[in-house]
A and B are shown apart, each in its own frame.
Chain A
Amino acid sequence: DTEVTQTPKHLVMGMTNKKSLKCEQHMGHRAMYWYKQKAKKPPELMFVYSYEKLSINESVPSRFSPECPNSSLLNLHLHALQPEDSALYLCASSQVVTGRSSYEQYFGPGTRLTVT
């Protein structure tokens, strides 16, 4: 089973709201990722968790706050977002990651976020 699930599928939030995106995988993977993708652009890496510890933060603004409660779950907490943060947010997982070298990553379906 190579399934990564994400909720919600769609999210509309105001600039003063607080919301969370959720991601779950049951493949026994120990690396999980958050990406942001704008239309007609490739995914941009935001965060990497390795063995439930944050290993990479790509200088993401503090209004995005990741959390990895256990090896299967990954959350992205959102607060005081800007309209330019509207994008498709993708979660991915892989067996392991060593530094910035990973095995194949499997993506979830994404959350389409609109900030009004």
Chain B
Amino acid sequence: QKEVEQNSGPLSVPEGAIASLNCTYSDRGSQSFFWYRQYSGKSPELIMFIYSNGDKEDGRFTAQLNKASQYVSLLIRDSQPSDSATYLCAATGNQFYFGTGTSLTVIP
């Protein structure tokens, strides 16, 4: 079992729709959770971070954390073609974990 699991996709959504990305983790000692966006050939760019249960919103992005169920999600509202990228879920606590990423394609 991988410590952080993501659906590799690809996930395709039409422009303007909501994209929903999910991540589950196995280490209950994980405390901090991050979402990174990575375009092909580029470095990861921090999109959201969340440390407490509940929702956190920043512009078109909402991160959700449920520690009891051990999942983290990222919602992207009004998806744009420029959101097409790989999204990496990461967690730290007892260890540094990166998920393998979900490939998102937003279709114009």
A→B interface (CB under 8 Å) = 2, 41-43, 45, 88, 90, 99-110
Cross-chain contact B96 with A45 (CB below 8 angstroms): yes
Cross-chain contact B100 with A42 (CB below 8 angstroms): yes
8 A Cβ contacts from B33-50 to A: 34, 36, 42-46, 49
Cross-chain contact A103 with B32 (CB below 8 angstroms): yes
Q: Which residues of A contact B31 (CB under 8 A)?
A: 101
Q: Which residues of A contact B93 (CB under 8 A)?
A: 100-101
Cross-chain contact A42 with B96 (CB below 8 angstroms): no
Which of A41, A42, A107 is B43 in contact with, Cβ under 8 Å?
A107
A103 to B34, CA, bound (A): 9
Which of A41, A99, A104, A109 is B34 in contact with, Cβ under 8 Å?
A104
A110 to B36, CA, bound (A): 15
Asked if B95 CB lies within 8 Å of chain A CBs, one says yes
**Cβ-closest chain B residue relative to A99:** B94
- A98 shortest CB reach to chain B, Å: 9
Given contacts A88-B43, A100-B92, A100-B95, 4 further A-B contacts (CB under 8 A): A43-B88, A90-B44, A109-B42, A110-B43
